[in-house]
Amino acid sequence: MSMDAVILCGGKGTRLRSVVSDRPKPLAAVGGGAFLDLLMKYAAGFGFRRFVLCAGHMGRMIEEHFHGGRPGLEIVVSIEAEPLDTAGAVKNAGRLIGTPRFLLLNGDSFCRADLEAFASFHAAGGSPVSLAASRRDDAGAFGALSVGENGRLLAFAEKSASGPGLVNAGIYMLEKTVLERVPPGVRYSMERDLLPALAAAGQVRAWETGAPLLDIGTPEGYARALEELK
């Protein structure tokens, strides 16, 4: 596709440290390689060729991992000098994002969504941000999404004990102009700051994918991913 793909790779992976402590979370071994390689291969399968990696914790390891590049892909790494959270990290990498619209992926989750269909949904919707949503039986553990007519995202529900529903799949399509809403050089979250504010203004649409969500952020989730992504 003729747009950049940005991947969030800067988290400390605190919850995963008991099983992955010697590398940043996106470099955790899955399916015979690094999880981040799997994500990039998945996106490249839909035609994405240029990747901007937002690194932080152990970011130099990510730079070293991609030293020499990958055939057919352009990979650039943005390393934050201090933690800026998810939206802050994308803002920090803004100078490296070369297209007016871009794909954004969480670097610690995998959902085999149809990115071509998602891009079409975003282009037709007229909203500056679209997110992919996956249905889970345990949506309460993630915080369920409240979605209205035409896919308009109404709210992010608080985490609760249990219950099925739609959750954020960690896949977004954004117009680059959205980054103007993110203050520079400070911690600013996609999930807690930017998206709720945009949703309240009716500027976020949710697209449901039938694909399941795998999250490697916990030992339990990582074990499940190891089994599912063999």
* Domain boundary assignment for the chain: 4-133+168-228
Phi, psi (deg, nearest 5) at residue 53: -100, 120
Q: What CATH fold (topology level) applies to the domain 4-133+168-228?
A: Spore Coat Polysaccharide Biosynthesis Protein SpsA; Chain A (3.90.550)
Q: What is the C-alpha separation between 156 and 144, in angstroms, rounded?
A: 6
Judge whether 168 and 177 are in contact, CB under 8 Å.
Answer: no
pLDDT of residue 162: 66
pLDDT of residue 37: 93
Please state, rounded to an integer, the average pLDDT across all residues of the chain. Answer: 89
pLDDT of residue 111: 93
204, β-bridge pairs:
129
Q: What is the C-alpha separation between 121 and 55, in angstroms, rounded?
A: 29
Residue 161 has pLDDT above 60, yes or no: no
- Summarize pLDDT for 50-104 with one digit per residue, the tens: 999 999 888 788 999 998 889 999 999 999 989 999 999 999 999 999 999 999 9
Task: Give 202's pLDDT tier (boundaries 50, 70, 90).
Answer: very high
pLDDT of residue 19: 60
Q: What is the C-alpha separation between 27 and 20, in angstroms, rounded?
A: 9
Residue 15 has pLDDT above 80, yes or no: no
pLDDT of residue 100: 97
Taking residues 31-59, what's their average pLDDT? 92
pLDDT of residue 224: 84
Q: What is the C-alpha separation between 163 and 39, in angstroms, rounded?
A: 28
Residue 39 has pLDDT above 90, yes or no: yes
pTM for this predicted structure: 0.93
Task: Give 203's pLDDT tier (boundaries 50, 70, 90).
Answer: very high
